[in-house]
Structure 1
Amino acid sequence: MMLNCPRFERPREKAICNGIETLSNQELIAVILRTGNKEMSVLNLASLLLEEIGGFQALKDVDYYQLTKIKGIKQAKAIELMASIELAKRMQKENTKRFVIKEPQDGYEYIKHKLMFEKQEKVILLCLNSRLEIIQEKLLFIGSGDASMLETKEVFQHTLRCGANRIILIHNHPSGNPAPSVEDELITQKIKEMADCLEIEFIDHLIVGNHCFYSFASKKIYQNKED
């Protein structure tokens, strides 16, 4: 029930107008709970929940029985809230297992099974943080031809959006030969120049072939017969 709350102050409307990140802890919980009851609004129910379990930090350890003891929290609300908490826990675990790329071989090992036997060319952007951990992987292009079809601005739109300060570009040659074409050379130079202007480190551009790859940073082809 939200009858006593102006529409622009309701959590869902506030999230839509101002962004989900503007919601307080209480409001985020209210969005998950969705409704209150005859005695209290959903915001009041969220506030009561936090009070009963001992504060926001206690959410990570709350269980089903604790939740269902709270007046106004029944089975459905308890399960929905626990599902949201579990998702947050799993995302946190994923963040602690980020893949680190310190050399060309690392990038190849990370991506080879996704690109090696593709029949179409794919261009993938890896966005890294200052610790050389992959924080986002983005498929930029699928098609025939070459990497010159790639729009340079698209590379940096994704890079800036996720807050990365280092990038690696990777694409495959369906022919199996990773030797760079003239077009590959040109797009690499173009991205390097733009990265320099934006103070983003362009670590490497890898071309994946059949059990081998080319690194623009090393300027050589690596053979990997053990794949």
Structure 2
Amino acid sequence: MRIHDLDPENRPRERFLRSGVSALSSAELMALILKTGTKKHNIIETCQEMLSIYGLEKLADLSLAELQKINGIGPAKAMQIKAVFELHRRMHFRRNTNKKIRSAKDVFDYMQGRLPDEMREHLFLLNLNTKNQIIRHEIISVGTLNASLIHPREIFKEAIRESAHAIIVVHNHPSGDVEASNADKQVTTVLKKAGSLLQIELLDHVIIGRESYFSFREHSLLG
């Protein structure tokens, strides 16, 4: 069935004009963007099937090649889908520019969408000014976190270069278990001591998973 064969009140464009954007399902919103379907499936059916298989979150992570494996999605539509999610990502980042950090939850929210590869461990540095606003963030290392491999100079040279008043260290656990390991505690101890000497305070070390986080400060582990 083509879109034009649907009752007018059930077409996405007419529903948008009548009831507003919030009344549309995710499939209908995607259909408005992609516009046309195939001979076998209208675009709403294509979008419903696509979202039922992947969901919005996983769909955002698919590559161009993976998107084109979906029935009814060619190169042009795959690029449209990637463009929509990239615009959303950029808007999220813009809203977080100079974000003021008040808690570990603020750090967790700031890091959403910033991990280039959730299957590997990344160590991030957040440089903060005197108002606890993020000046800049940096990826310091990729791979297993270990006190013998993470040298304070790699972290504090970035903080000094940015004239940071304080820093927050963030890393992810690909397993999803955010409990601090012995290696995490050793790294934090070393960085806390180095920060004290340089008068650049380590405000927190936050471990993030997909849905949760662990804060050294909130667990009174910063000494």
| Distance of 1:116 and 1:139 partners within structure 2 | 10
Specify whether residues 110 and 189 from structure 1 end up closer, same or farther in structure 2 by C-alpha distance, changes over 3 A only. Answer: same
RMSD (CA atoms):
2.2
Contact 1:204 1:216 in 2 (8 A): yes
Tell me what 1:137 maps to. Answer: 137
Contact 2:97 2:134 in 1 (8 A): no
Contact 1:116 1:211 in 2 (8 A): no
Tell me what 1:187 maps to. Answer: 187
Q: CA deviation at 1:146?
A: 2.3
Tell me what 2:214 maps to. Answer: 214
Tell me what 1:119 maps to. Answer: 119
Specify whether residues 157 and 171 from structure 1 end up closer, same or farther in structure 2 by C-alpha distance, changes over 3 A only. Answer: same
- Larger Rg computed on CA atoms: 1
Deviations 1:105-163 (A, max 9, x none): 101100032239700000000000001111111100012x2243322111100000110
TM-score when normalising by structure 1: 0.52
Q: Which runs of 4+ in 1 moved over 2 A?
A: 112-117, 145-149
Tell me what 2:177 maps to. Answer: 177
Specify whether residues 204 and 116 from structure 1 end up closer, same or farther in structure 2 by C-alpha distance, changes over 3 A only. Answer: farther
| Distance of 1:119 and 1:178 partners within structure 2 | 14
1:60-99 alignment runs, 5 A limit: 97-99=97-99
TM-score when normalising by structure 2: 0.53
Report how many residues are paired.
Answer: 126
Deviations 1:51-74 (A, max 9, x none): xxxxxxxxxxxxxxxxxxxxxxxx
% identical aligned pairs: 30
| Distance of 1:198 and 1:186 partners within structure 2 | 19
Q: CA deviation at 1:97?
A: 4.5
Unaligned 5+ residue runs, structure 1?
A: 1-93, 221-227
Contact 1:115 1:208 in 2 (8 A): no
